[in-house]
Amino acid sequence: MIHRPIVWLVLILTVYLSLTCIRAGHKSFWHDEILTLAIANLRSVHEMWDAELMGFDFNPPLNAVLTKASMAIAGKPELTARVPPIAGYLLMLVFVGRRLPAFFSCLQ
């Protein structure tokens, strides 16, 4: 049996993903995204790690590795490069929803 709050949750997440993907596909890259792309475009993870150790970018290397993987997907680079942060945000919502059932009771 489908609970009504789950239907609302799916509807809200669908609208969120649709609007976010449309906006991400048309928006230019910001400075930090350009640095992540520069690292993600290196040939190997070893080179990416060396660039991080030299202080090229101060974000964790997992972001650049996931961005490199998502860039292998055909499509607009403005969108595919932003897939890891969008997915991370959705995972964070689910995690917080599980931890705070009073605020996100529809996720239970």
Q: What is the pLDDT of residues 42-76, one digit of tens each?
A: 999 899 999 988 988 888 888 889 999 998 887 78
- The position carrying tokens 């993600």 is 40
Predicted structure pTM score: 0.71
From the list 45, 95, 93, the residue with the least C-alpha distance to 66 is 45
Residue 26 CA, distance from chain mean position: 16
pLDDT at 77: 83
CA distance 84 to 64: 9
CA distance 53 to 50: 5
CA distance 107 to 9: 8
pLDDT at 105: 63
User: Residues 17-36: pLDDT tens digits?
Assistant: 889 888 888 888 888 888 88
Confidence of residue 103 (pLDDT cuts 50, 70, 90): low
From the list 46, 35, 13, 12, the residue with the least C-alpha distance to 81 is 35
Pull the structure tokens for residue 104.
């996100």
pLDDT at 47: 92
